[in-house]
A and B are shown apart, each in its own frame.
Chain A
Amino acid sequence: GAGVSQSPSNKVTEKGKDVELRCDPISGHTALYWYRQSLGQGLEFLIYFQGNSAPDKSGLPSDRFSAERTGGSVSTLTIQRTQQEDSAVYLCASSLWPGNHEQYFGPGTRLTVT
């Protein structure tokens, strides 16, 4: 079946511009996660959605970052007024249920802020 998809696969933007990154989770998965991975580093948790519950935004690094999940499916991560330190690979994952379940990752969006 179809896995997690993300778009675009690569994004180059100028400092100060806004960007939107999209994630399509696996159909039927109730939990959706966003992570960020800087070059040569591990993954940094950003935000987590579970069903209709309020999202866990505790990992968002600043108020320039926001995310929404419409209709319990597709999610968009928005970064406003991008900075060079925002350059990273942004990874989305989904899981059937939260807790004791593997997460399925998309291929990521490589964001480069010039």
Chain B
Amino acid sequence: SQQGEEDPQALSIQEGENATMNCSYKTSINNLQWYRQNSGRGLVHLILIRSNEREKHSGRLRVTLDTSKKSSSLLITASRAADTASYFCATEPSGSRLTFGEGTQLTVNP
């Protein structure tokens, strides 16, 4: 079963608005990662946050991690039509496999 669960499953916003996606997980982790997938093919890594970090920024992306609540959020500011994609959180319980959630489908309308 998937450890990460994203919320919401789908999100539709207007260009320029902010998009927030949440992820919850069940077991302890080394790190949590966010990936983007366009058109159901290869995934692109966005950001990695370690278990001892609480917040991380990369360009228009802001990720938070609350290990006490076993949750993370991904904020995309000033969204663009090109941000339309599926976004997945993935947890790394140990130094090997990633466990993915089922993703949030983000649609940014021009």
Contact = CB atoms under 8 A, between A and B. Distances in A.
Do A and B associate with each other?
A: yes
Interface of A: 4, 31, 33, 35, 37, 39, 41-45, 48, 50, 56, 59, 89, 91, 93, 98-108
Most B CB contacts (10 A, CB to CB) among A4, A39, A104 go to: A104
A56 B44 contact: no
B95 interface: yes
B33 interface: yes
A45 B43 contact: no
Contacts of B35: 105
A18 B95 CA distance: 32
A56 B97 contact: yes
B2 A42 contact: yes
A5 to B, nearest CB: 10
Given A89-B41, A91-B43, A99-B94, 11 more contacts: A33-B97, A35-B100, A37-B40, A42-B100, A43-B88, A44-B100, A50-B96, A56-B96, A56-B97, A89-B40, A93-B43
A100 B92 contact: yes
* Top-8 shortest CB links A-B: A99-B95, A102-B45, A42-B102, A42-B100, A43-B100, A105-B43, A107-B42, A98-B95
A45 B98 contact: yes
A41 B102 contact: yes
A68 to B, nearest CB: 18
Nearest to A6: B42
A107 B38 CA distance: 10
Contacts of B94: 99
B50 interface: yes
Interface string B19-54: 000000000001101010000111111001010000
Given A105-B43, A108-B42, A42 B95 contact: no
A91 B88 CA distance: 15
5 contacts: A31-B96, A37-B40, A101-B48, A102-B45, A108-B41
